Amino acid sequence: MGFFHLSLFVILGTFPAALLAQGVMYSSIAVNVTETIAETDENFVCATIDWWPHDKCNYNRCPWGYSSAINLNLSNPFLGRAIQAFKNLRIRIGGSLQDQVVYDVGKLKVPCHPFQKINNGLFGYSKGCLHMKRWDELNCLFRNNRVVVTFGLNALFGRHRIRQDAWGGDWDSSNARDFIRYTISKGYPVDSWEFGNELSGSGIGASVAAEQYGKDLIALRKVIDELYENSHVKPLLIAPGGFFDEGWYTKLLQVSGPGVINVMTHHIYNLGAGIDPNLVSKILSPLYLSEISKTFSDLQETIRKHGPWSSAWVGESGGAYNSGGRHVSNTFVNSFWYLDQLGMASKHNTKVYCRQSLIGGNYGLLNWSTSLPNPDYYSALLWHRLMGKGVLTVESNAPSHLRSYAHCSKGRAGVTLLLINLNNETNFITRVHNNNVKSLVVEKQPSTEEGTILIRGLKKTVSFVGTRSSKAAPLFREEYHLTPKDGYLRSQVMLLNGTPLEVTEDGEIPTLKPAFAHVNSLVSVAPLSMAFIVLPSMYAPACA
């Protein structure tokens, strides 16, 4: 009897004619409030800063500009304010060229030059250099904006190519050791060190055998334990930052053994190439979105069987690879994929989800040329502020086009629902029921008269935007409805409860104001929209 039942109603207009003209679907949602099925990290939402130089191009376009770890304008006020809005945003420094980066510190015996295009280089580039002055500047940005730092180390240093894309030989830890020692000496708080990027399985551009990788992780663990011996907090060791390959991941855990890897990271680009003309149809297909759930469950099972001392992260995910889809990844429609990914990953006990990228490419949370937020930035910020660590089971008899996820609310009592309506013409209508009601069965559409009565009821309990009296707090819920400007799915402007989300005249991130509705009133999720529904009065023993 630990289910709190919700029947979903949605109304598109404020007149009976509009109500009856739209497709209306009645369904039921049940949230199990007695136990959590998974738990995320406090800083679940994460974004990456990559290494790509300004001349990184895909499909005859170069959407990176100056947005990498080596050339990003760190004094840009929009950048700082966008990070500050999260209060504690996790940022991962890493990407395709990560295993080409050398650190200009200590007894480095190889030249430390900028990335240059060369024919036989990994991804067409030479090795690149991270100067310690630049590392100092990055850490100034991180410190001033309370960033939780994950840094991806070069896992190819000292190795040699043995055939085509396969690399062999022991990893040379000397440069990483000097870099970590410098980081500690400066007091820079790195939360986690990641080893390598996309070297698992057959690799992307390069690969390393799992047995060798496991041995190298043992060596890196010794380095970290030694250098952090006198530290109160020891950073996590995470790996391999590649695409999930069950046999390879299993072997890595078996070779490295307990006490070495804290986190298994994997990458997701399940929408395919950025140039794919079918990106939007994939994003709006519940069947397609659900296909990746097998990867989540398979990794979860691999960890349970072979490495229960570790946990799962999505170390990088941009939806569409090769810098994302132009006019898709940076528009409203992409949030259907992104928010669904966050919900799905959470259900499979994923602790952290790193979005490719914070800035850079077409899939940046921030526009690579202006540093202003793209729609997915606001989706990430709302999730970060509203969805707590505890993940709850949701049961629904709604069709697959209505995606639903539930978490304990963040920092307060109650439950927060995320509802995603992928249908382009159906409204889902919601009503709250007691625990004995399993579903709402509707045998006919409401008549015009019934619709009029329904609208009168809505006028009494209709959502409103603004400040409400604290005395009324227990009687109201919060609603955050996300729609595109002018109904255009590829709009770069997202509306929150009908108001455009744009930086203020002073360049500040806009206040994300909820609409308020009486707890017993109807909930509306319009066609092709998303909504966070905060239910402070829903008693959830699992969240206590």
Catalytic choice (194, 198, 478, 479): 198
The Cα–Cα gap between 426 and 307 comes to 44
> Is 79 within 8 Å of 89 (Cβ atoms)?
no
For 494-525, give the DSSP string: EEETTEE----TTSPPPP-PPEEEETTS-EEE
C-alpha separations of 164 from 128, 197, 210 in Å: 21, 18, 17
Q: How many other CB atoms are found less than 10 A from the CB of residue 177? A: 21
CA-to-CA distance for 135 and 143, rounded, in angstroms? 12
Respond yes or no: is residue 198 known to be catalytic: yes
- Would strands 263-268 and 190-195 be described as parallel, antiparallel, or unpaired? unpaired
Asked if 155 and 216 count as a contact pair (C-beta separation under 8 A), the reply is yes
* C-alpha atoms less than 13 angstroms from C-alpha of 166 in its C-beta half-sphere: 8
Contact partners, residue 38, CB within 8 Å, separation at least 6 = 346, 347, 348, 349, 350, 391
* CA of residue 242 relative to chain centroid, distance: 16
Q: What is the DSSP string of 80-147?
A: HHHHHTTSS-EEEE--GGGGGEEEESSS--S------EEEEEETTE--EEEEHHHHHHHHHHHHHTTP
Residue 196 has which token pair? 């390598």
Q: Buried b vs exposed e over 349-368: b needs ≥16 C-beta within 10 Å? A: bbbbbbbbbbbbbbbbbbbb
Q: Are 516 and 479 in contact (CB under 8 A)?
A: yes
Examine the residue annotation and report whether 137 is marked as an active-site residue of this protein: no
Q: What is d(CA 363, CA 154) in angstroms, rounded to the nearest whole number?
A: 24
CA distance 24 to 29: 16
Among 42, 194, 211, 316, the one annotated catalytic:
316
- Cβ–Cβ under 8 Å, residues 102 and 157: yes
Which of 375, 310, 395, 401 has the alpha carbon at shortest distance from 349?
Answer: 310
| Tokens 């136990």 sit on residue | 35
Identify the bridge partners of residue 236 per DSSP, sorted by sequence position: 192
How far apart are alpha carbons 54 and 304 in whole angstroms?
A: 42
In this structure, are residues 9 and 523 in contact, taking their beta carbons and an 8 Å threshold?
yes
CA distance 179 to 191: 15
Q: In this structure, what is the dihedral angle of CA atoms 514, 499, 48, 319, given to the nearest 10 degrees?
A: 100
- The Cα–Cα gap between 114 and 392 comes to 48
Catalytic residues: 198, 316
